[in-house]
Amino acid sequence: MTGDALLEIRGLKVGFPTPEGLVRASDTVDLEIYPRETLGLIGETGSGKTVLGMAILRLLQPNTIIEGEIRYRGRDLLSLPEAEMQRVRGREIGIVLQNSGTSLNPVYTVGTQIAEAVILHQGLSGPDARQRAVELLDAVGIPDPVRMAGEYPHRFSGGMRERALIATALACRPNLLIADEPTKGLDAVTKRGIVDLFSEIDRDHSVLFITHDIETAGDLATRVAVMYAGEIVEIGGAEEVLGDPAHPYTRGLLASLPERGMQPIPGSAPSLITLPSGCRFSPRCGCAVENCSREHPGLVEVGSGHYARCMLYD
């Protein structure tokens, strides 16, 4: 099942040099995204989810150290010249960045900004691009799209901005959509609306849905990957991973949900500069044995297409 992946990440390492040392935001990540699937990427804040999404489109600061391979339809995005990368961004792979509140330029109308993508890639003229922007706003469920296309971002509510950003990312019909916490900071009803929108989108697009909201991931994702301290600790079908979690960390995450007893995982996530030896979760793990702090476990198949990074299954 490796040949037909739309996006294939191999041994991706992302590091940020800082005066305190190298921050290893992503460490040897392997991941595939198949056509028309929604992969939910879940993990705590600071586990490296956003960095992974940004690294795919090479949107990180120039001094970031990136190693490994990111193959999109056979081409390694990491070695693509910048000019070609610009043709991939927006057209082949769209991204909805975090912080929808500040991701729109306050000096242009929302319609103008959605039209930008169309003008950049499809060479449409002003009025045609504008028309396309209105259609897109309509498609993502903005009421009265003709009028709203002419409004400035500050007139949009949080949920509407999120929708506008999704419209922008979808403007050139990319094959893959990366959505970075699109439900962050939204109330329950608005969130529901966005989740419904994504369940429509993922019929036509592959989606990498980055979230710390396990429920949302469960609703949308066909497969789920769990990240902890820059590593993928568990990956598999959504039902298997969330229904029968193999890794103690995933189990801990589920147990911390309000409806499952709200038991937090003891301790806090490690610093990405000084990572614990052996299994990175071992200092917080209830099942840790002596060997856990000495050996770094690899991903072990625990079911069909279901892998966990834990000594318990060695």
Partner 1 sequence: MHKKIVLAASLGIVFAYCAVALLAPVIAPYDPHAITGAPLSPPDRDHLLGTNDLAQDIFSGLIWGTRATLLLGFVGAAIAVTVGTAAGIVSGYYGGLIDEAVMRLLDVAMTIPIFPLLLILTTFFRPGIYLIAVLMGLLGSFQGVRLIRSQVLSLAVADFVVGTRALGAGDGYIMARHILPGVLPLAGVKFVTSAQHFMLIGIGLGFLGITDPSVVDWGQMINRASQNGAMILGLWWWLIPPGLAVTLISLALAWLGYACEDEINPRLRVMRV
User: Which residues are at the interface with partner 1 (CB under 8 A)?
Assistant: 57, 59, 62-63, 83, 86-91, 94-95, 97, 99, 102-107, 116-117, 120-121, 165, 168-169, 171
Apex 113 CA angle, 110 and 116, nearest 5: 155
What's the CA gap between 252 and 153, in Å, rounded? Answer: 39
177 has which bridge partners?
94, 207
Q: Say if CB 7 and CB 56 are below 8 A apart.
A: yes
Min separation Cβ 179 and partner 1, Å: 12
Kindly provide the b/e burial profile for residues 174-200, where b requires at least 16 CB atoms within 10 angstroms of the residue's own CB: bbbbbbbbbbbebeeebbebbbebbee
Instruction: Report the residue number, 29 or 96, with the smaller CB distance to partner 1.
Output: 96
Tell me whether residue 158 or residue 283 sits nearer to partner 1 (CB atom): 158
Answer yes or no: are the C-beta atoms of 170 and 87 closer than 8 Å. no
Give whichever of 42 and 104 is closer to partner 1, judged by the CB atom: 104
Q: Which is nearer to partner 1, 5 or 97 (CB)?
A: 97
Nearest distance in Å: CB 8, partner 1: 21
Contacting residues for 234 by C-beta, under 8 A, at least 6 apart: 224, 225, 226, 241, 245, 246, 247, 249, 250, 306, 307, 308, 309
With contact defined as beta carbons under 8 Å apart, do 164 and 156 qualify? yes
Min dist. Cβ of residue 210 to partner 1 (A)? 14
CB of 107 to partner 1, least distance (A): 5
User: In this structure, are residues 263 and 248 in contact, taking their beta carbons and an 8 Å threshold?
Assistant: no
Q: State the minimum distance, in angstroms, from the CB of residue 90 to partner 1.
A: 4
The nearest distance, CB 91 to partner 1, in angstroms, is: 6
CB contact at 8 A, 33 and 206: yes
Burial of 203 (0-12, 13-18, 19+ CB in 10 A): exposed
* Nearest distance in Å: CB 178, partner 1: 9
Considering beta carbons, is residue 62 or 261 the nearer one to partner 1?
Answer: 62
The CA distances from residue 171 to 30, 132, 154, 233, in Å, are 29, 8, 21, 34
Between residues 105 and 157, which has the closer beta carbon with respect to partner 1? Answer: 105
Q: How far apart are CA 70 and CA 49, in angstroms?
A: 15
Closest CB 102 distance from partner 1, rounded Å? 4
The residue (of 89 and 163) whose beta carbon lies closer to partner 1 is 89
Q: Which is nearer to partner 1, 26 or 168 (CB)?
A: 168
